[in-house]
């Protein structure tokens, strides 16, 4: 299964969730690319849109490979087994953590609005453009639960089977259009997959106010 773009993926995901009669009080997109998908889902489900800021903690030797993630409230998820198996030193890991904490602070300043809706007692639908390891989304789920969300659902157009299995342990539901045991990289499932800019995210959030 492939998607023309994040917009088209969001529309297909939104229709799928509507068919399942998924109920949510709030759709939370993961910046940056996930916000484009989430906006379409929120529109179809007639839900308010917000973001949940998360940063991937990349392997010091291969930054695209996630060994954990950090969420906006300080929630930290680390894959200790992967860190040990790949011989990541504490000094190198600390350096990556400091760097991503700084970027997380920048993201918070750019994307979090002062009038954001509360999560306490609400059902939150967390949306991303794809789930590779599931680390960033796990941090997002735990962060939402730390904010006293009553239920947390995860949805994405595409995911690895490992990510789905991982997230089913922490989320109330995980709903994915295409789960691929041969999952490689999120971008492989999109015909158009440009990097999403901060300005695009801010424009989408501004339009949803």
Q: Where are the domains of the chain?
A: 6-53+118-208, 56-110
Of 146, 122, 57, 124, whose CA–CA distance to 96 is shortest?
57
At 120 the three-state DSSP class reads strand
- The matching CATH number, chosen from 3.40.50.2020, 2.40.30.10, 3.40.50.300, 2.60.120.10, for 6-53+118-208 is 3.40.50.2020
Instruction: Report residue 116's pLDDT band, with 50, 70 and 90 as the boundaries.
Output: confident
Of 199, 158, 198, whose CA–CA distance to 181 is shortest?
158
Q: Give the pLDDT confidence of 49-58 residue by residue, as tens digits.
A: 999 999 999 9
Q: Give the pLDDT confidence of 137-174 residue by residue, as tens digits.
A: 999 999 999 999 999 999 999 999 999 999 999 999 99
Distance (Å, whole) CA 92 – CA 80: 14
For residue 4, whether the previous peptide bond is cis, meaning omega lies within 30 degrees of 0, is no
* Confidence (pLDDT) at 1: 87
Distance (Å, whole) CA 151 – CA 35: 20
Entry pTM: 0.94
Confirm if 189 and 130 have CB atoms less than 8 A apart. yes
Instruction: Report residue 117's pLDDT band, with 50, 70 and 90 as the boundaries.
Output: confident
Instruction: Report residue 18's pLDDT band, with 50, 70 and 90 as the boundaries.
Output: very high
Distance (Å, whole) CA 137 – CA 61: 22
């Amino acid at each position: 299964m492939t998607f023309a773009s994040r917009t088209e993926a969001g529309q297909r995901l939104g229709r799928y969730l509507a068919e399942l009669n998924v109920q949510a009080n709030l759709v939370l997109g993961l910046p940056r690319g996930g916000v484009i998908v989430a906006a379409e889902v929120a529109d179809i489900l007639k839900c308010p849109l917000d973001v949940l800021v998360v940063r991937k903690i990349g392997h010091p030797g291969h930054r695209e490979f996630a060994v954990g993630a950090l969420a906006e409230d300080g929630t930290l998820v680390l894959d200790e087994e992967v860190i040990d198996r790949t011989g990541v030193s504490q000094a190198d890991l600390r350096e990556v953590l400091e760097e991503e904490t700084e970027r997380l602070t920048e993201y918070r300043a750019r994307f979090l609005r002062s009038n954001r809706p509360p999560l306490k007692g609400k059902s939150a639908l967390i949306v991303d453009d794809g789930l590779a390891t599931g680390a960033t989304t796990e941090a997002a789920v735990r962060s939402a639960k730390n904010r006293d969300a009553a239920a947390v659902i995860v949805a994405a157009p595409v995911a690895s089977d490992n990510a789905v299995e991982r997230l089913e342990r922490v989320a109330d539901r995980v709903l994915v259009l295409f789960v691929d045991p041969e999952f490689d990289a999120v971008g492989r499932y999109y015909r158009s997959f440009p990097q999403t800019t901060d300005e695009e995210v801010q424009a989408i959030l501004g339009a949803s106010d």
